[in-house]
Chains A and B, each alone.
Chain A
Amino acid sequence: MSLRFLSVRLGMLVLTVLVSSLAIYGAMFLTPGDPATLLVGGSRNPDPAVLAQIRSDYHLDDPFLAGYWHWLSNFLQGDFGQSLVYRDSVTGLIGDRAGDTVALVAYAAVLVLAGGMLIGTVAALRGGRTEALATTLTAGAMAVPTFVMAVLLIWLFAVRLPWFPVYGSGEGFTDTLAHLTLPAVALALSWIGYVAQVTRTAVRGELRSEHVETARSRGVPERVVIRRHVLHNASGAMFAVSGVGIAGLIATAAVAEQAFGTGGLGALMIEAASKQDMAVVQAVSLIFVIVFVVINTGVDLISAAVDPRIAAQKGAIR
């Protein structure tokens, strides 16, 4: 991987985060009224004294860029401001809920990685009816939106067959696992389908490749051909698509959290948005964007480090 590729990707990362943070902060000023009302929780009639207090706390009367810089530097130091709706510090609110989201996304990520790669690999290696069945099922899984899958799973596996608890996120490891299983499955399923399809295509392509024919022509045992040539060469595509999938899990975690009432950052952001509690929405959405971009960039960099041809190709497109 060239140093130039590394610096371009890292530069892109910083730029994306900066522009996103500017948009997240600036969005507040698009409101037809006083931005300060958004920080109180827009729907009520706030006390003018409270508004004045907020205006000075958030430097809303300063020039735009000065106010932005104040907000961003506080954010980077972990000070996300005060939520007047929840009557708590935003940092505290986020700290209470971050664990639930991390657990949910990690659970779903394990399902996506293990399930997607396994289904895709087995489908390609077995071929025939197994492959046709896997292709149909994964295409179906990709088409069902998370929130529809959520209600379906609740009905099937919490009501018809009372196997899993539905609301809350549980106490202790096994209870948490039980509470998070249905949300994680709902969140992961379409990404499992996606990762499985890309994996299947990659493995199938390698199976048909000329260099695999060479290995077979030399009497290399089939098990070794699969491991050293087919899976080894398909692993780059599998890794890249899994990274995209995990980034996607973060972007849609909010839906699963809301549908199952597990709580977490996504549910917090949505609740805050419906109460127009801007301080919370700004902080949580910036956290989501940063994690999303960092994962995407990390996957790109690792892919390029493993296979130098990728950096050359991606460089050529720009």
Chain B
Amino acid sequence: MTEPQNASPLLHIDGLRIDLPLDGAPRTVVHRADVTIPEGRAVALVGESGSGKSLTARCVMGLLPGSARIHGDVRFAGESVPGMNAERLRAFRAAEVAMVFQDPRAHINPARSIGDFLIEGLTTARRVPSGEAVKKVTGILREVGIPDADRRMRQRPHELSGGLLQRVMIAAALAVEPRLLLADEPTTALDVTTQEEVMAIIGEAREARGLALLFITHDLELAAAVSDRVVVMYAGSTVEELPAARLRAHAAHPYTRALLASRPSVFDEAAELRSIPGRPLSGFEAPEGCAFSDRCTHVQDVCRSERPQPSPHGDAFAACHFPYVLASEETADHA
């Protein structure tokens, strides 16, 4: 490779489209996803179920079923992920990315010991001797708040609580020293107090290692709290991207604003809660025009006929014909 490493971001998803066969016929489940993660930064991908956020994340790891058709580009450190052959893909998964899944109870083999699960990534995919692997994961278990590592490693998954199992999964992901960590709703299956602990562990690990993170969630507030930038997906398309710090004040897409309004805020306790009318659409149900047009309060004729393309405003993007723009920002931009 002749071009310098830092010329391309760590992860660059550009105009990703995914077609999957549903009931025999190919259907577009992701229409257009654009996500960029620079080395060491955290990006949250926010959306309701069916929005295509989990499919986008799986595409980054090459985990989509063989029947999926992928268009557009997914590049990791400049290298195309869909273009990798099986051998390269395996090496890529074994060393450069790792994923923390939503439900640790289902995603950790119930018939094998915790120790087996933890060292497997190192011993089978990286050919690390098992003694060395055990030493390494024992240290990481301490780091994620599991002190009695020796005992835990001998146990089976059904003997551990959900919170502990999720820590085990995080430890397993960290053990391979990836450059990018993908976390697919890692706290959804857990109770509230455990959720906070798990998020804290991910945050600390990221800081200590300079890990890049793609954090997938349906929780806008949580997304803003743990990441540098927030990407919002709706019905298979990314509709908005902006810095997390400016989410509440500067969100331009009506869907993002509606999501913010439907959630109790820690900033504004007096604000009235409003739910979004209608039901969320899946990618394959998206109509011709703007996918959100049926539920949008600002809808115009052009929204139903023409799909809006992402357009920049400041250092953010929104795919909307009539983005919400703060008066002060507009004057600032034109000044």
Contacts and interface: CB of A to CB of B under 8 A. Distances in A.
Contact, chains A and B (beta carbon distance below 8 A): yes
Contact of A307 (B63, B99, B111): B111
A211 interface: yes
Nearest to A309: B158
Nearest to B159: A308
A187 B108 CA distance: 40
Interface string A212-229: 011111111100100011
A31 interface: no
A104 to B, nearest CB: 35
A314 interface: no
A211 B120 contact: no
Main secondary structure of the interface of B (DSSP, over half): helix
Given A213-B63, A309-B158, A219 B107 contact: no
B103 interface: yes
Interface stretch (B85-93, B216-224, B259-267, B325-333): B85-93
Contacts of A210: 101, 103, 106-107
Given A213-B63, A232-B112, A309-B158, A218 B120 contact: yes
B157 to A, nearest CB: 9
Interface centre among B94, B103, B120, B126, by most chain A C-beta atoms within 10 angstroms, is B120
Nearest to A217: B99
A233 interface: yes
Contact of B124 (A217, A220, A236): A220
Contact of A215 (B92, B109, B126, B169): B109
A217 B61 contact: yes
A209 interface: yes
A220 B106 contact: no
A229 B124 contact: no
Interface residues of B, number: 29
A219 B122 CA distance: 9
B110 interface: yes
A171 B103 CA distance: 61
B98 interface: yes
B137 interface: no
Contacts of A214: 99, 101, 107-109, 169
B229 to A, nearest CB: 24
A233 B125 CA distance: 20
Given A217-B61, A218-B93, A209 B111 contact: no
B107 A218 contact: no
Interface band, chain A: 20 to 34
Interface string A192-217: 00000000000000000111011111
A215 B63 contact: no
A206 to B, nearest CB: 9
B70 interface: no
Given A211-B110, A233-B111, A307-B111, A221 B103 contact: no
B35 interface: no
Contacts of B121: 218-220
B165 to A, nearest CB: 12
Contacts of A211: 106-110
Given A213-B63, A218-B125, A309-B158, A229 B92 contact: no
B95 interface: yes
A214 to B, nearest CB: 5
A219 B111 contact: no
Nearest to A236: B111
A215 B110 CA distance: 13
B247 to A, nearest CB: 29
B99 A224 contact: no
A219 B91 contact: yes
A215 B109 CA distance: 9
Contacts of A307: 111
Nearest to B120: A220
B290 interface: no
A146 to B, nearest CB: 35
Given A213-B63, A214-B101, A219 B92 contact: yes
Contacts of B172: 218
Nearest to B156: A308
A213 B124 contact: no
A311 to B, nearest CB: 13
A210 B185 CA distance: 15
Contacts of A236: 111
Interface string B112-135: 100000001100111000000000
A219 B96 CA distance: 10
A228 B119 CA distance: 13
B124 A224 contact: yes
Contacts of A232: 111-112
Interface centre among B63, B106, B108, B109, by most chain A C-beta atoms within 10 angstroms, is B109
A159 B11 CA distance: 70
B176 interface: yes
Contacts of B125: 218-221
B108 A219 contact: no
Interface centre among A210, A216, A221, by most chain B C-beta atoms within 10 angstroms, is A210
A220 B106 CA distance: 18
B109 A229 contact: yes
A233 B63 contact: no
Interface in B132-151: none
Contacts of B95: 219
22 contacts: A209-B106, A210-B103, A211-B107, A211-B109, A213-B101, A214-B101, A216-B93, A217-B63, A217-B93, A218-B98, A219-B89, A219-B91, A219-B92, A219-B94, A219-B121, A219-B125, A219-B126, A220-B120, A220-B125, A228-B120, A232-B112, A233-B110
Given A209-B106, A219-B121, 15 more contacts: A210-B101, A214-B101, A215-B109, A216-B93, A217-B93, A218-B93, A218-B125, A219-B93, A219-B125, A220-B125, A221-B125, A228-B120, A233-B110, A236-B111, A309-B110
> Which 10 residue pairs of A and B lie closest in terms of their CB atoms, listed nearest first?
A219-B94, A219-B93, A219-B125, A210-B106, A218-B121, A211-B109, A219-B90, A214-B107, A210-B107, A217-B99
